[in-house]
Amino acid sequence: MHIVRGALVAASFTLLTACAVGPNYKRPVFDATAAYKEQDGWKPSEPNDALDRGPWWEIFNDEVLNALEAQVNISNENVKAAAAAVEESRALVRQAQSGFWPQVSASASRTRSVTGENQPITVTSAGVSANWDIDLWGQIRRTTESDRASMQASEAALASARLSEQAVLATDYFLLRAQDQLQIILNDIVAAEQQSLKITENRYRVGVAAKADVVTAQTQLLSSQAQQVNAPLQRAILEHAIAVLIGQQPADFSIAPATMRADVPTVPAGLPSALLERRPDVAQGERRVAAANAQIGVAISAFFPSLTITGSDDYRGNTISHLIRTTNRVWAIGPSVALSVFDAGLRRAQVAQARAAYEASVDNYRQTVLASLEQVEDEIVTLRVLEQRAVIEDATVKAAKEAETLTLNQYKAGTVPYSSVITAQTTRLASEENALNVLSGRLQASVALIQALGGGWKASMLDQ
């Protein structure tokens, strides 16, 4: 055993002084612009540090949303699957790291045989053996490097999956609240039209309104009631989707109706270069480049001879009771070198494949960065335009309500036909629905912008 340990020490020194073939990793260069194009003219609201304070959805100040988002990380099945993939990648790193150390095994046997002279012979043996592949050319190191980068890519994929599910949940939640608000609008419209119908019927009874006015009022009321009855359909579908997002069965889940918030908090877009550190999908692409780069070294190492040190220390004798003694000891130790001298171009093809895979990963990484920049630009311009449109829509609603009131009073006075009342009511409903759609769109775009910026995630969160 002393000889085996000495050989292991010598091999350790050899390993430490060995080199790792293949290119050392350098992050692909991406020259991002100094600022976003669509940011001019858009001033986001406070707080401006929302993405640095923890859970990003808390900027909406909605306790129901906060409680729902907290369940995504522990109950969402897609997130749990991505977390399992991370554990798998960590196990692969540990497998690769085991190659740095010798494989030691123990054995024991007892055999009985008969010679040609019918003399029985019993042989008992026990001992240990070791086998160590010396990483002279860095094959194990490059493999470990690749697996570690792949593990970090899996962690970034987990963060990306979590962020995606969180954003979908927030979007569905605000769409559901928009349905709640639409229900309030329709209830108000139906109540107003019921009152208009009563007024028309009273005028008809005293002979100052035509029967056609009554029928028209009834038709308008029935049309609004149909919309009122249909409104809960989309809300139910959204509620079911939210239940699945948090890992619950739709039958066991419900959200109480509530009014919709009127403000839209957003965050500054920051600098385009920050996306390289803030978006998990960008970090995932960059880590895949690192993994592919290390695989080039693994492929190149096949051109060099492999060195393996083997050793054994056994005791062999005829009886178990006197087995462990110097005269029964048999030990062996020695290196072996192997080199492939002809493979019909296999190794060159493998290196070419590794280099091509690396180039593809670089291209995919840069495309991911470009797509992320596009996303941010899209959401910034969406928020800017919808914010401008919201001012107009709110003024339109105010004017439409005033016009409805004035027109109804004029109809009571007999100065305008009932068709003017119908027009005013239809205009009011359309303006309120438009304003609601704009508000809902702004909230969705706000969530989408936060997602496009990485949701507060940073590349430094990756397991080093």
In sequence order, the β-bridge partners of residue 109 are 125
Report the candidate in 151, 153, 145 with the shortest Cα–Cα distance to residue 97.
145
Listing DSSP states for 67-114 in one string gives HHHHHHHHH-HHHHHHHHHHHHHHHHHHHHHGGGS-EEEEEEEEEEEE
Over the stretch 218-252, which tens digit does the pLDDT of each residue have? 998 999 899 999 989 999 999 999 999 999 999 99
For domain 1-21+103-133+306-338, give its CATH number from 2.40.50.140, 3.20.20.70, 2.20.200.10, 3.40.250.10: 2.20.200.10
* Residue 193 in this model has a pLDDT that exceeds 70: yes
Q: Which residues contact 390 (CB under 8 A, 6 or more apart)?
A: 435, 438, 439, 442
| pLDDT-based confidence at residue 177 (cuts at 50, 70, 90) | very high
> What pLDDT is attached to residue 327?
77
Is the per-residue pLDDT at 45 higher than 60? Answer: no
The yes-or-no verdict on residue 374 having pLDDT over 50 is yes
Which of the two residues, 360 and 118, has the higher pLDDT score?
360
**104 has which bridge partners?**
130
pLDDT of residue 340: 86
Residue 106 Cα distances to 131, 250, 284, 309, angstroms: 12, 57, 42, 17
Mean pLDDT of the chain: 86
Phi-psi region of 138 (alpha: psi -120 to 50; beta: other; left: phi over 0): left
pLDDT at 453 > cutoff 70: yes
Closest CA to 213 of 430, 416, 404, 401: 416
CA–CA dist 177, 238 (Å, integer): 10
Q: Count Cβ atoms below 10 Å from residue 335 Cβ, excluding itself.
A: 15
pLDDT tens-digit series, residues 440-449: 999 999 999 9
Sheet holding 329-338, edge to edge: 103-114, 120-134, 306-317, 329-338
- Asked if residue 4 has pLDDT above 50, the reply is no
Angle at alpha carbon of residue 451, lines to 375 and 61, rounded to 5°:
135
Q: What is the mean pLDDT of residues 390-395?
A: 94
**Cα(234)–Cα(276) distance, integer angstroms:** 38
Give 54's pLDDT tier (boundaries 50, 70, 90).
Answer: low
pLDDT at 139 over 90: no
**DSSP code of residue 29:** P
With respect to CATH, is domain 32-101+135-304+348-461 assigned 1.20.1600.10?
A: yes
Statement: residue 7 has pLDDT above 60? no
pLDDT tens for each residue of 352-364: 999 999 999 999 9
pLDDT of 22 > 80? The answer is yes
Tokens of 410: 């004029």
> What is residue 180's predicted lDDT score, i.e. its pLDDT?
95
Q: What is the DSSP letter of 414?
A: T
pLDDT at 117 over 80: no
Question: Which segments within 211-328 are labelled E, that is strand?
Answer: 306-317
* pLDDT over 50 (residue 277): yes
Helices and strands (H and E) in the chain: how many: 9, 4
Q: Which two tokens stand for residue 325?
A: 């003694």
The distance from CA 151 to its chain's CA centroid, rounded to whole angstroms, is 15
Question: Which pLDDT score is estimated for 51?
Answer: 53
Dump pLDDT digits (tens) for 64-84.
999 999 998 888 888 888 888
Angle at CA 158, nearest 5°, toward 154 and 163?
Answer: 145
Q: What DSSP designation does 57 have?
A: G
> What would the DSSP string read from start to end of 171-204?
HHHHHHHHHHHHHHHHHHHHHHHHHHHHHHHHHH
Q: Where does the chain hold its CATH 2.20.200.10 domain(s)?
A: 1-21+103-133+306-338
What does the block give as tokens for 396?
Answer: 């339109």
* 12, pLDDT greater than 80: no
Residue 221 has which token pair?
């009321």
133-139: average pLDDT: 84
Residues 154/290, Cβ–Cβ less than 8 Å: no
Q: Taking the CA atoms of the chain, what radius of gyration do you get in angstroms?
A: 37
pLDDT of residue 96: 86
CA–CA separation, 201 and 214 (whole Å) = 6
Mean pLDDT of the 100-126 span:
82
Q: How far apart are alpha carbons 310 and 163 in whole angstroms?
A: 50
Asked if the model's pLDDT at residue 188 lies above 80, the reply is yes
Residue 439 pLDDT > 50:
yes
pLDDT at 433: 93
Spatial distance between the Cα atoms of 411 and 419, rounded to a whole number of angstroms: 9
pLDDT band at 464 (very low <50, low <70, confident <90, very high): low
A 10 A CB-CB count for 34 gives: 7
Residue 386 confidence (pLDDT) above 90: yes
Q: What is the largest CA-CA distance in the chain?
A: 136
Q: Provide the pLDDT confidence category of residue 304 given band limits of 50, 70 and 90.
A: confident
Task: With cut-offs at 50, 70 and 90, classify the pLDDT of residue 3.
Answer: very low
